[in-house]
């Protein structure tokens, strides 16, 4: 049976729910007001990422009912994703202390890993390495870092949505080329769920994603990468390559701020993409550039890893080196008032 009809359904759920959330946010004055740490200049409604959460959870329920995903994949993604979305929603509407947010993040990561079986053996330079419990701990930190960096990188119009769609559709292509058709539905419907929201979030944004949406995306994308790795070890490396723009910018910025002794949990505008948006005077060129990097640089390398025998670790190095150069060029992690 052909289930492709549900793709536009997911898009429509996200599209119309985002419109409703925008009206709700405006009526309740749930606005992101620009301040010294903001990358926008106009007060904008926030919390639209809830539409992505709802659309994808409904999609997961459809996939589960149709027998297109396993119970473990359903409960892993739905349980962890909803937990992260709830934490983010509460933080969007008030404030949760950083330590309690972090505790909730790790609890969600443990839930997801419990259902998925933890970290699978990793293919490293032709050798499969089973890290045991150390690998499961590493996987938990990986998931927590991915959801937080996704939150950090959701700072200009459309960038988080474009990154998610590029990564998901790129993964669908890799699965199709590898004959892993059973894995395609998850990232495909996540991309569809983001697409409906992107209409409202594309520069200039009419509504922002908020922590509920960005954290949810980070956790679910991490879960999809581990799910694929259990089926084909090179796919984990491929996902790390596809998410390279966000991983490199956020990680490079974090370490530079750590070395400078700054409080890394405080809001800032020192990511490379934020410096770039100020240099160009608008968000659109940076958001489009992220899409182009994904399409013309990262995706071909991921294809080489999964189809043409390029070692995954070498593929990550090849993919990340130019991204690190760009991070340095655009002053990632520098103090905002430091010299260019």
- pLDDT tens-digit profile of 212-257? 999 999 999 999 999 999 999 999 999 999 999 999 999 999 999 9
- What does the pLDDT read at residue 95? 77
N residues, the chain: 340
- What does the pLDDT read at residue 339? 43
Q: How confident is the model at residue 194 (pLDDT cuts 50, 70, 90)?
A: very high
The binding site consists of 151, 211
- Its pTM stands at 0.95
Segment 90-112, tens digit of pLDDT: 887 777 888 899 999 999 999 99
3-state secondary structure the chain: CCCCCHHHHHHHHHHHHHHHHHHHHHHCCCEECCCCCCCCCCCEECCCHHHHHHHHHHHHHHHHHCCCCCHHHHHHHHHHHHHHHHHHHHHHHCCCCHHHHHHHHHHHHHHHHHHHCCCCCEEECCEEECCHHHHHHHHHHHHHHHHHHHHHHCCCCCHHHHHHHHHHHHHHHHHHHCCCHHHCHHHHHHHHHHHHHHHHHCCCCCCCCHHHHHHHHHHHHHHHHHHHHHHCCHHHHHHHHHCHHHHHHHHHHHHHHHHCCCCCCCCCCCCHHHHHHHHHCCCHHHHHHHHHHHHHHHHHHHHHHHHCCCCHHHHHHHHHHHHHHHHHHCCCCCCCCCCC
- What does the pLDDT read at residue 252? 96
The overall average pLDDT reported for the chain is: 93
Tell me the C-alpha distance between 268 and 325, whole Å: 21
The binding site for Mg(2+) consists of 151, 211
- What does the pLDDT read at residue 36? 55
Which of 34-38, 200-204, 232-236, 238-242 has the least mean pLDDT? 34-38
The partner residues of 128 in beta bridges, in order of sequence, read: 123
- What does the pLDDT read at residue 35? 63
Q: How confident is the model at residue 340 (pLDDT cuts 50, 70, 90)?
A: very low
- What does the pLDDT read at residue 337? 63
- What does the pLDDT read at residue 37? 60
Tell me the C-alpha distance between 60 and 124, whole Å: 32
- What does the pLDDT read at residue 29? 81
- What is the pLDDT averaged over residues 114-122? 94
Segment 164-193, tens digit of pLDDT: 999 999 999 999 999 999 999 999 999 999
pLDDT at 10 over 70: yes
- What does the pLDDT read at residue 98? 84
| Highest-pLDDT range among 2-6, 208-212, 240-244 | 240-244
Which of 114-128, 223-237, 311-325 has the least mean pLDDT? 114-128
- What does the pLDDT read at residue 150? 96
Neighbours of 130 (CB within 10 A): 10
Query: Could you tell me the two tokens for 308?
Result: 């043409």
Query: Could you tell me the two tokens for 11?
Result: 């898009």
- What does the pLDDT read at residue 38? 64
- What is the pLDDT averaged over residues 31-59? 84
Q: Look at 295 and 95; give whichever has higher pLDDT.
A: 295
pLDDT at 77 over 90: yes
């Amino acid at each position: 049976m052909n289930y492709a009809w549900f793709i536009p359904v997911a898009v429509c759920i996200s599209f119309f729910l985002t419109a409703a959330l925008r009206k709700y946010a405006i009526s309740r004055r749930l606005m992101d007001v620009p301040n010294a740490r903001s990358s926008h200049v106009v007060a904008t409604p926030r919390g639209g990422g809830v539409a992505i959460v709802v659309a994808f959870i409904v999609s997961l329920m459809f996939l589960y009912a149709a027998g297109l995903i396993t119970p473990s994949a359903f409960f892993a993604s739905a349980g962890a994703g909803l937990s992260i979305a709830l934490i983010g929603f509460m933080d969007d509407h008030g404030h949760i202390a950083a330590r309690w947010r972090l505790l909730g993040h790790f609890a969600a990561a443990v839930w997801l890993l419990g259902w998925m079986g933890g970290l699978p053996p990793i293919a490293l330079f032709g050798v499969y390495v089973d890290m045991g419990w150390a690998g499961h701990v590493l996987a938990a930190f990986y998931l927590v870092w991915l959801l937080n960096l996704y939150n950090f990188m959701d700072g200009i119009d459309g960038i988080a949505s474009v990154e998610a769609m590029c990564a998901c559709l790129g993964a669908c292509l890799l699965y199709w080329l590898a004959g892993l058709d059973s894995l395609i539905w998850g990232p495909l419907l996540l991309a569809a769920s983001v697409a409906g929201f992107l209409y409202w979030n594309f520069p200039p944004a009419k509504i922002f994603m908020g922590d509920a949406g960005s954290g949810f995306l980070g956790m679910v994308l991490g879960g999809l990468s581990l799910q694929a790795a259990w089926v084909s070890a090179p796919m984990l490396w491929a996902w790390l390559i596809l998410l390279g723009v966000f991983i490199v910018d956020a990680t490079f910025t974090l370490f530079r701020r750590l070395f400078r002794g700054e409080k890394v949990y405080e809001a800032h505008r020192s990511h490379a993409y934020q410096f770039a948006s100020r240099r160009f005077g608008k968000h659109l060129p940076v958001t489009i550039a992220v899409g182009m990097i994904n399409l013309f640089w990262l995706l071909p390398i991921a294809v080489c890893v999964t189809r043409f025998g390029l070692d995954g670790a070498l593929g990550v190095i090849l993919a990340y080196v130019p991204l690190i150069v760009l991070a340095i060029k655009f002053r990632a992690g520098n103090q905002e008032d430091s010299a260019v």
